[in-house]
Amino acid sequence: MEITFGIPKGSLQEATIGLFKNSGIRVTVDPRSYYPACDDDELDLVLMRAQEMPRYVEEGIIDAGITGYDWVVENNSEVVQVCEMEYSKATRQKARWVLAAPEGGRFKKPADLKNRRIATELVKTTERYFKQRRIPVKVEFSWGATEVKPPRLVDAIVDITETGSSLRANRLKILDVVLETSTVLIANRTAWKNERKRQKIENIRILLQGTLEAENYVGLKCNVERKNLERVTAALPALHNPTISTLSDKGWYAVETILPSVDIKHLIPRLKRAGASGIIEYAVSKVIR
């Protein structure tokens, strides 16, 4: 049983292929082809723009794919949102579509843009945003470089940002957040009802989410003499209780656990002072809860 799976072409492409690789699925892209090869015989991959992905998944042309939540909203697509995945082209945080206008200008809030011109790639969502607030505006599609258009070409923009650095560089200030978005795995409704296809899509979800989760954790093991065991284990934060096993040296134990990577810089010196030795930190490839 094959499922057709969409890989987002463009800014998310390399991050997605890297995520698949780290999860154990190797994807090879021929720059002249839109049909990548992979080492999973049950996956038929296709590259397509994230903006188009929800529509093709909704229509059943592909069974599942990775896109942005923003494009699901923009297309008003009726698809199964299998899960959210916190990764993007630059960071692991959610991005925001924001309404922005020139710094020091007359526009201080959305209502100030009445009857003004707004440029964006997210046209339908922006139109709905202003319609809900009963603010008449003219929304035009932007082909890119949206942040450079105010104030000469348009009065304001709705653009996507992760850090806000591009907006600041172009002397724009944020008036409001129109939509918060992240990367999502979506599936066609009919494919989701097919038991075998659903299981395959779920398998992909487990691998990808486990790989992303592992980025927040490291493995740690150490040797501990019996007299220091209680002090060392008390210092260990963990997903569950640490694994403790006896060593061939009488009175010594091996302690192993998985813990948040942010804790490691404080924890290792504390363990050393508590009596641990042979401390080893190692990377983990997946964390499946």
Residues 87 and 203 in one domain: yes
With tokens 């960071």, the residue in question is 91
pLDDT at position 90 over 70: no
Residue 11 pLDDT? 82
Residue 243 pLDDT? 92
Which DSSP state fits 93? S
Distance in angstroms between the alpha carbons of the first and the last residue of the chain: 27
Q: How do residues 123-142 score in pLDDT, each as one tens digit?
A: 999 999 999 999 999 999 99
- Alpha carbons 177 and 116: distance in angstroms, whole number: 18
Residues 86 and 191 in one domain: yes
Residue 69 pLDDT? 96
Residues 113 and 192 in one domain: no
Residues 169 and 233 in one domain: no
Q: Is residue 11 domain-resident? A: yes
Residue 10 pLDDT? 87
Q: Is residue 278 domain-resident? A: yes
Residue 239 pLDDT? 61
Residues 102 and 239 in one domain: no
Q: Is residue 289 domain-resident? A: no
Q: How do residues 217-276 score in pLDDT, each as one tens digit?
A: 999 999 999 999 999 998 887 666 899 999 998 999 999 999 999 999 999 999 999 999
Residues 272 and 242 in one domain: yes
Residues 146 and 268 in one domain: no
- Alpha carbons 45 and 9: distance in angstroms, whole number: 12
Residues 100 and 155 in one domain: yes
Q: With cut-offs at 50, 70 and 90, classify the pLDDT of residue 203.
A: very high
Q: Which long-range contacts (CB under 8 A, 24 or more apart) does 136-143 make?
A: 137/113
Q: Find out whether 24 and 207 touch, Cβ atoms under 8 Å.
A: yes
Q: Is residue 288 domain-resident? A: no
Structural domain ending residue among the three candidates 214, 237, 264: 214
pLDDT at position 89 over 60: no
Give the CATH number for residue 106: 3.40.190.10
Tell me what the mean pLDDT of segment 15-32 comes to: 93
Residues 58 and 129 in one domain: no
Return the exposure string of 5-31: e unless at least 16 CB atoms fall within 10 Å of the residue's CB, then b. bbbbbeebbebbbebbebbebebebee
What order do you get walking across the sheet with 172-181 strand by strand?
138-141, 117-120, 156-161, 95-102, 172-181
Q: How do residues 152-187 score in pLDDT, each as one tens digit?
A: 999 999 999 988 888 999 999 999 999 999 999 999
Residue 240 pLDDT? 67
Residues 80 and 190 in one domain: yes
Residues 33 and 147 in one domain: no
Q: How many domains does the chain have?
A: 3
Which domain, by its residues, includes 129?
95-180
Structural domain ending residue among the three candidates 180, 203, 235: 180
- Alpha carbons 183 and 12: distance in angstroms, whole number: 9
Tally the residues of the chain. Answer: 289
Q: Is residue 58 domain-resident? A: yes
Give the CATH number for residue 235: 3.30.70.120
Lowest mean pLDDT among 118-122, 199-203, 214-218: 214-218
Q: With cut-offs at 50, 70 and 90, classify the pLDDT of residue 91.
A: low
